Homo-oligomer: A and B are copies of this chain.
Amino acid sequence: MEVELKETIDELESLKQSLTDPSYRYPIDKLKLRVERLAKFGNSGPLRRSKVKDMSAEVVDSNPYSRLMALQRMGIVQNYERIREYSVAIVGIGGVGSVAAEMLTRCGIGRLLLYDYDKVELANMNRLFFRPEQVGMTKTDAAVQTLSDINPDVVLESYTLNITTVQGFETFMSSLKNKSFSPNKQGSGVDIVLSCVDNYEARMAVNQACNELNQTWMESGVSEDAVSGHIQLLIPGETACFACAPPLVVASGVDERTLKREGVCAASLPTTMGVVAGLLVQNTLKYLLEFGQVSPYLGYNSLKDYFPTMEMKPNPQCSNAACLQRQKEYLLAKPARDAAAKAKMEAEASSSAEGPLHLDNEWDISVVDDDEPEGIDIKSSAALPEGLTRELPSADEFHTTPEAPDSAIDDIEDLRRQLDALNSS
């Protein structure tokens, strides 16, 4: 646009010079001034940054990756630049998906695949990312517009389609399988799928695709009252799939499938959705770049700032045939997995003979044996009041392992003191 305006000014100048009648000069000067003002308005900074070939750790103001590459020097990530090799698919570019896409774009992810069929509305302006001038555009087009401006290094693929239709599902599947970005990659063409959709059918479609492709994915959701949300890691065969367990409805018993009915308007907040997107992408980064611990399930109850965690094992009676197939494969691969884990442990033990990596254990984290008996039933509580749905699924529907309490009791003395306090109260 700047170049166009500059050329316009030059053309006006040559037009002025070629006019023999001086009375024409004034209107042309006026026009020139106007176009110059426009050029100045549009010239408050470079419209786009240029592409960057390698991620540099150099500490200069002009390096968009300096604060990310610093993660290596800080000892958090071993090789940050590997992020450019990864592909992430985001299904649903709404309040959570659009922010997740922006975060991954600013982190310099290699390739993003975006799926949505909806258009931007003014009613979306209470969430982050979309701007009023994008109203009427498809969410995928608007996202590509914004994201390519923010970071031209990211390869963006946008799919304006509904994955719950036959045609849409087929395109979804073939786009996930496409390996042209990383031909040598094992499995599908993407490294992780993030589900940021707002309805049950779409989640089941993502679940189906990921079970068929043996594709690790993360599910995310925000309650219709806007004040709670969750993320969940799903590894086909290893964890519960979305069909293994009933959807985790947080409250109020409103059927999620009816949420998009005419006249029904779910509440939403940029805060809850921003937090859920942040937790989702943080766990995606931990998964891709191998640092920290990826949460199998993390809830966010914003009224009480409570963050429940749990793990869900697959349901051997799952209704999804592809899930059952993945479960079978996972069990068959157990001996190989055990041998690899043992070899890794031995290698680590010999290389770190000088002592454990972390001397302190601030949060009382302990390693739980993977081979513990499956399906510890959680105590089934009494019937719930009408209109309420269980937050945690009941034990007879599928098997689950309750997590250790966040603040573990660390010695018998503590327990005795609590017992005394309860007895005396």
Contact = CB atoms under 8 A, between A and B. Distances in A.
B34 A267 contact: no
Interface centre among A27, A108, A133 (most CB of B within 10 A): A133
14 contacts: A38-B38, A45-B136, A68-B269, A75-B225, A76-B225, A125-B151, A131-B149, A269-B282, A271-B282, A286-B303, A292-B302, A292-B303, A293-B304, A409-B422
B271 A278 contact: yes
Interface of A: 1, 4-5, 7-8, 11-12, 14-15, 18-21, 24, 27-28, 30-31, 34-35, 37-38, 41-42, 44-49, 59-68, 70-71, 73-76, 99, 102-103, 106-108, 121-123, 125-128, 131-137, 149-151, 224-227, 263-272, 274-275, 277-279, 281-283, 285-286, 291-293, 295, 298, 301-307, 309, 359-360, 362-363, 365, 384-385, 388, 391, 405-407, 409, 411-412, 415-416, 418-419, 422-423
Nearest to A284: B271
Contacts of A301: 363
Contacts of A62: 121-123
A74 B226 contact: yes
A67 B128 CA distance: 13
- Chain multiplicity (copies): 2
A412 to B, nearest CB: 5
A63 B31 contact: no
Nearest to A268: B67
Contact of A265 (B70, B225, B285): B70
Given A61-B122, A275-B275, 5 more contacts: A35-B35, A44-B133, A67-B266, A271-B282, A405-B407
